Amino acid sequence: MGDSSDGTLRDGGFAGGETGGRGGMKTVQEYIDEKPVWPDGTATSTAPMTAMQWRIWALATAGKFFEGMMVFMTGVALPLIVEEFRLDTVGKGLVGAAPLFGILVGATALGGLSDLAGRKRMFIAEMILFAVSLLLLVFSPGFAWLIVFLFIMGAALGCDYPTAHMVISESIPSVSRGKLVLSAFGFQAVGALVGTAVGYLILYENPDIGAWRWMYATGIVPAILVVVARYSIPDSGHWLVCRGRIDEAQRELERLLARRPPYPRKVRLAVSASEAPPAPDAAPAVEGFGSLFSRRHFRATVFASVPWFLQDLGTYGIGMFTPTILASVIGRGTTHAGNIAGIIHTDMLAAKGAAFIDCLLLVGIVFAVLLADRAGRARLQVLGFIGCAAGLFLASLSAGAGGGTGKFLIFAGFMLFSFMTNLGPNAMTYLIAGEVFPTRIRGKGAGFAASFAKVGSVLTVFLFPLLLRSLGTKTLLYGLVGTSLLGALITWLFRIETTGVNLENIGRTETGR
């Protein structure tokens, strides 16, 4: 394809697009959002995604897939681990809480490093750590080491919360950010379904107490392949500009936007006010965690973290222990068998029921992808919280019902909860946390929000077996109904709508109600 003398491209190439008003220079996001114009003056309807942008999206789905797979597969593996290590209620809670506590630590301690070390570097490091943790889990010599390795696995997955979001959102057009980030996040639901199914199939083929080791082993090779593939992507132009590395940002942006026909032909970056590197005698390019609680960012911090905390109380408690709760309903005739065959049989029954319910997570995220850029983040989050409360209340009614009615109520309630949580708070809290902070502190802000949320999940998973035993299913579900309604209220009071907002404008102006 040859260049014409007037600077346009022949043979169907692009002639030009929207200008940045700076002598042909544009900011990173203006280049990414730019809609090319054909030589006849016809504008394209959207900014076409490049092969590299799709590659980044695909590789970012892996972390969410592995999280869903491992956390939900642990629900299937848990009865086997309890039997092998002869665990009491506290030990059972530790197994469930260890990976979530790792996510809590990893999201801030490792994910926050992406503001300092770079998005790509942490994107690779997290997956290396995840692959190593799985290998160690398979050969866990005792209960104490099992907890340590589950924590390491969680730390790797925690790092992925901010980094995967930023790797996608800082590389794609603003108009598509919601649906692409959420469609990647949706692979958490795919992973949950796969994890439950893999757990069941391994139990079916290998009905042995040690089968849980094979469950974790299934993720090792895929994780290694993802590590290798992540080396091929460019780093974030937004982050490089913030660090003052303009020439490198231009080269990486050219790699990101490489198309056939080529467009843009040459990247000449202008620096947005919100991402301009500081003067030598000014404040550092990377602000500390204290800035999250400054007057400027406090509202965003509350909006990103508190509803996510309340959402995780229900999602992880119900998600992790769905097989256990279902076993108490559908497996009443076998749960007291007192032998290994009885334990495995009941676990398989509960795994099948959990897999059926997990399908609604996937349906919910599909609706979230379709609606996030239309209905808005905050509205969907409020609606989802209310729907979660309704589902949990319906499930609570099963405690006073017997036979087929009890089974219907608990399945219907959990299915409604699974659908509404992924339509609303489970999806939106993740999306919002990566959008409401400016580039300089986006990693820290999103990481803190994820960590704060995981305080809720760790408390729930650790205390869930104790509370289930002492309070009963009905009272526990009533409590989660209350936290869901509180999540809806906090979302509405602190809402910041980021739908379609240019990331370079975040932090420069207040987007509000």
Structural domains of the chain in order of their starting residue, each with its CATH number: 51-234+288-505 (1.20.1250.20)
Rounded-to-integer distance, Cα 286 and Cα 275, Å: 11
Max intra-chain CA distance, the chain:
84
Q: DSSP 3-state assignment of 17?
A: strand
pLDDT tens per residue across span 15-44 = 555 444 455 788 888 889 888 777 766 777
DSSP secondary structure letters along 395-463? HHGGGG--HHHHHHHHHHHHHHHHHHHHHTHHHHHHHHHTTSS-GGGHHHHHHHHHHHHHHHHHHHHHH
Residue for token digits 């530790």? 94
* Rounded (to 5) percent helix, strand, coil in the chain: 70, 5, 25
CA distance 276 to 238: 10
Q: Which helix (H) or strand (E) holds 232?
A: none
Neighbouring residues of 294: CB distance < 8 A, sequence distance ≥ 6: none
| Residue 44 DSSP class | P
pLDDT score recorded for residue 130: 96
Q: How far, in Å, are 255, 268, 349 from residue 49 at the CA level?
A: 13, 20, 44
To which residue do tokens 């995604």 refer?
49
In the block, tokens 């992973």 appear at 191
Nearest to 359 by CA among 68, 161, 77: 68
pLDDT for 5: 32
Which pLDDT score, from 0 to 100, does residue 94 have?
Answer: 85
DSSP code for 3: B
SS3 state of residue 36: strand
Paired tokens of 431: 């999306």
The CA-atom distances, in angstroms, between 364 and each of 58, 134, 418 are 20, 29, 7
**Cα(486)–Cα(492) distance, integer angstroms:** 10
Which residue do the tokens 């006073």 mark?
400
Residue 143: how many other CB atoms lie within 10 Å: 16
How many Cα atoms within 13 Å fall on the side-chain side of residue 254?
11
The pTM of the full predicted model, rounded to 2 decimals, is 0.79
Give every CB contact of residue 381 below 8 A, 6+ residues apart in sequence. 307, 424, 425, 428, 429, 432, 487, 488, 491
Which residue ranges of the chain lie beneath pLDDT 50?
1-12, 18-21, 282, 331-339, 343, 509-513
The pLDDT of residue 508: 57
